[in-house]
Structure 1
Amino acid sequence: MKAQTSRFNVIGQLDSLRRYARSLTRNEADAEDLVQDTLVRAYEKRSHFRQGGNLKGWLLTILHNGFIDNKRSNRAEASRAEAMASVADTSLQPPQEHSVHLSDIRRAFFALPEEQRAALHLVAIENLSYEEAAATLGIPIGTLMSRISRARAALRLLEAEPQAGKIARLRIVGGRDE
């Protein structure tokens, strides 16, 4: 029984553990937490300690690995927090205002002449190339481009109207936006 106690005498190693922990963390409270975690891990893994092995080296290794694990964990948590902050910083318009704006755009889109609406729909919504859209409508590509240009200009007028200090935010996709 006496051999078992002397073999796993961690009390005699506390000064070394505390010194090394303070050296790593540069903070007294964090060093004490690290030593505490080390002792818990050592107790849980005591069956892995080789009889006659270097207890001090084994405990210092556990402490060092615990420090590295904590550092990685803190870095990953900071990265997640930063990612969440970047997502949280993006502000959204109130849903009512967004719904009203989409309703205005929908109304303006459906108010376009049929040939302009069809051309813009095929290119901007269905993502067809100009060639494919022109073939679908059975018109020359130049005519298609003209219709899309006129449709975009009409929709831009919706955004150009001053609306209580709002910034224009409509961008028609597909083709060039000139």
Structure 2
Amino acid sequence: MAQTPAAPTNPLVTGSEIARIAGVTRAAVSNWRRRYDDFPAPAGGGANSPLYDLAEVRAWLETQRKGQDVTDEVQLWQELRGAYGDDILRGLGDVLQTLATPEERKQAALPDAVIHLARRMAQEGSLSDVAQGLAERFTESVRRTGSDQVSSPRLVRAVQQCVGDVPDDAVLFDPACGIGTLLLAVGAD
């Protein structure tokens, strides 16, 4: 009987996330994959969108002396990917709910590292900055993977042209809203 490989236990990261961690461009990561035989092998994803074991990537970057200090934003994203996996959108919602809730009230069941990083980021900037940063990172990540959780800019522009001005009291319905890109673009400000 054939054995199925065990699911990875560490968070998986994309080439773009490796580039952020190392402080280089995505092209540099692509070059490393081709030039270095010891670059970590993909641990998931597909041929066009491979995912790498974060611990292996960090170890490789350290060995090659190619890494730099990881920002709070990158650490937060990595912690969320590790805790939520494919349900990252729920993780983003839990972070924002936790930040918007007074500390003494019950919080979403987030790992302590996530709460600590998110609160520190909100204190250094604002809740809005954290929300915007996470939304942008999510949007970029799902566009790379071809997910349908974010409406493409082209589709948003086309719908805006067809819809025109929307009254402030209008009710909008988008059955595939994902994070609401289309609704936000078409709806009242």
TM-score tier, shorter chain, comes to: under 0.3
Judging by fraction of residues, say which structure has more helix: 1
Q: TM-score, normalized by length of structure 2?
A: 0.18
Structure with the larger strand share? 2
